[in-house]
Structure 1
Amino acid sequence: MPTPLPRKPRARPATAAPPDVAPKKAPTQPRAVETYERILAMAAELLGEVGIEQLSTNLICRRLAITPPALYQYFPNKYAILHELGQRLMQRQNELLEPWATPATMALPEARYAKSVAKLFLETLRLTEQMPAGVWVTRALRAVPSLKDVRIRSHDAVTDLLLQAFMAAHPNVDPARARVSIRLAIDAQYAALELLFDDPSQSPEAVAEVMAEMVAGELARLRRKY
């Protein structure tokens, strides 16, 4: 009986390189700045109309009555545009958070802290809904792999901000454990936002209350432990 020939290993499919999301150049002249901002504004408008998959640079150009080379001066593809929109959204959300993230806030009793978290969450919800395509940009930051760095960098920066305030109020807590708890609390708040965007039948106030009580309870347990 002939010896069977060894099977050749199957070739693995080539992994596509992630799209370039870095803007090509920052505009400096007033007219160039205007074109840059018009591209972003139209992309946000179209994102709300057609969604992430159907959005394209050609569609943006047609709506703005500009040539593709005029757009490609600033953005190599639609993902670079979404990247910039995502950075702007996260920056606005973080600006809302900064005056709240103080040692005095972190020292509040559990019930008062929970109410404070819920209030901040509802303010963040309103801001996101009011920003052009804020809901869709939030979805894109979660759904598009090439945009995850925007979300991760922003969440890491917020974690550092909150951790500093928390440790100033509770210096005996283990910083490593506090960082994990705060990082998970941030993700819980964004998961609550996405829940409301995906299921409008949910009550924003109820979602805010439950999420805030979960976050406050975890940090209160951490404070008691140390």
Structure 2
Amino acid sequence: MPAQQRGTETYELILKAAAELLADVGIERLSTNMVCERAGLTPPALYRYFPNKYALLCELGKRLMDKQNELIPRWITAEVLAGPVPAIEEALAGLLLETYAVTEEMPGGVWILRALRAVPTVQNIRLDSHAMVAEAQAGLLAEAFPNVPQEELMLAGRVAIDMIYAGVELLFDVPLNPQQVAKVSAAMVASYLPRLAARQA
């Protein structure tokens, strides 16, 4: 087996073990020694790829954010944003529910989500990702509402992203009905778009 392939397999084995352990023990108790034991590796073998547990959390965080971000273009387009409010609400609710499902299905997903919020060395993964998505959403909003200043569209995009994300986090923290949370969150975000549309007149 070529060394590069072995390296890739070891890298993925470490991440799989870390994600499974996160689901079992949470962020605080997770340690590189536990990951080594679960993966069947020595500490030096693990440290070749990840110097500490925070490096593991960063990589898992990037992967979760990438999975979540891949969903956005499926639901949110310039056509949807320029359309009727009920259609926008339906798209936003669908995005929230699918983001929740993807997070729930990922091993250790809820703990990775919490690490992205609570662990200082991991927070920038979430912040940078949201900034990138906000810029993309502002571009779509500019297509739908070309007369609105870019700064306002950037702010609207960023607030919308964080409100949807907060809805996903809420579902992991409190036993609420996902459809109802998605419906209310989507209605709150979509309610701002008619203001942007009014500026087009």
TM range (shorter): over 0.9
Counterpart of 1:206, as a letter, is Q
Q: How many pairs align? A: 198
Contact 1:101 1:161 in 2 (8 A): no
Q: Which residue of 2 aligns with 1:34?
A: 9
Counterpart of 2:124, as a letter, is D
Q: Which runs of 5+ in 1 are unaligned?
A: 1-27
Tell me the alpha carbon deviations over residues 67-102 of structure 1, each in whole angstroms, 9 at most, x when there is no partner: 100000011100000100000111111111123332
Give the superposition deviation at 1:224.
1.7
| Structure whose alpha-carbon radius of gyration is higher | 1
RMSD of aligned residue pairs (Cα, Å): 1.2
Indicate the percent of aligned positions where both proteins have the same amino acid.
51
| 2:96 maps to which of 103, 117, 121 | 121
Q: Which residue of 2 aligns with 1:151?
A: 126
Tell me, what secondary structure is at the counterpart of 1:212?
A: helix
> Is residue 218 of structure 1 aligned with residue 192 of structure 2?
yes
Counterpart of 2:20, as a letter, is E
Q: Which runs of 5+ in 2 are unaligned?
A: none
| 1:79 maps to which of 54, 62, 66 | 54
| 2:45 maps to which of 53, 59, 70 | 70
Matches within 5 A, 1:183-198: 183-198=158-173
Counterpart of 1:168, as a letter, is E
Counterpart of 1:216, as a letter, is A
Tell me, what secondary structure is at the counterpart of 1:29?
A: helix
How far, CA to CA, are the matches of 1:40 and 1:208 in structure 2? 31
Q: TM-score, normalised by structure 2?
A: 0.95
Tell me, what secondary structure is at the counterpart of 1:132?
A: coil
Q: TM-score, normalised by structure 1?
A: 0.85
Tell me the alpha carbon deviations over residues 108-155 of structure 1, each in whole angstroms, 9 at most, x when there is no partner: 111211111101111111111111111111011001011111001110
Contact 2:76 2:92 in 1 (8 A): no
Counterpart of 2:188, as a letter, is M
Counterpart of 2:140, as a letter, is A
